[in-house]
Amino acid sequence: MAEAPSNDHIVSCDSEPLILVNSQDECIGHLNKAACHDGAGLLHRAFSLFLFNTDGEVLLQQRVASKRLWPMFWSNSCCSHPRQDESMQEAVSRRVWEELGVQVDMVYLYKFQYHASFQKSGSENELCYVYIGRADAPLNINTHEINDCKWVKLNTLDQLLSENPDTFTPWLKLEWQELNARHSQTITRLIQTGSG
């Protein structure tokens, strides 16, 4: 990849075309990001990535205040959408590079459908692919997307979610519950060996 983008580089816009799908994850068309999130939202493909390091920590990011949905909430390491004619693998690699300035080998775990509304601002209505990866290189945080980030121990995240659930995005809570329930051995192996 080229040199990492500057840490305030704009990497997304409301006009970018996302992939509309049905509940079987079949592409049924394309629509701009803003319209996909209006009202109750239209089902579209998305992804979430959780990054871990060799110290057994997971990277959390706090979304910037300018985000339309869940501004200033804490979320997983990186999440976004594949664009029209872009594979999921290409989308995840692109976005983690644009937001965090790192290249990582990713392991796909599962996908799920969820719906969540944020006040009157709009909704997430997504068929979301969930990945994990390991990152030990220094991060180059894109301040246009991320207000803050921190590495936390896995049990610390469990505690934070228990004590302050309203400070986290809804998809982070759903995904972390699933990771704990069904993928903890894969995460441990990734942390220890670098592969899932």
CA–CA gap between residue 14 and residue 135 (Å, rounded): 29
Supply 93's token pair. 């690699």
Cα dihedral 65→66→68→72 (10° resolution): -10
| Residue where the block lists tokens 């040199």 | 3
CA–CA gap between residue 24 and residue 45 (Å, rounded): 11
| Residue where the block lists tokens 């909704």 | 123
CA–CA gap between residue 51 and residue 196 (Å, rounded): 12
In eight-state DSSP terms, residue 92 is H
Active site (annotated) includes residue 16: no
Active site (annotated) includes residue 126: yes
> Which amino acid, residue 97?
W
CA–CA gap between residue 134 and residue 190 (Å, rounded): 7
pLDDT confidence tier of residue 1, bands split at 50, 70 and 90:
very low
pTM score, two decimals?
Answer: 0.94
> Which amino acid, residue 4?
A
pLDDT given for residue 196 in this prediction: 78
* Annotated catalytic residue, options 98, 99, 124, 126: 126
User: What length is written for the chain?
Assistant: 196
* Annotated catalytic residue, options 78, 79, 128, 149: 79
Each residue of 81-104: pLDDT tens digit? 999 999 999 999 999 999 999 999
Class of 17-191 per CATH?
alpha beta
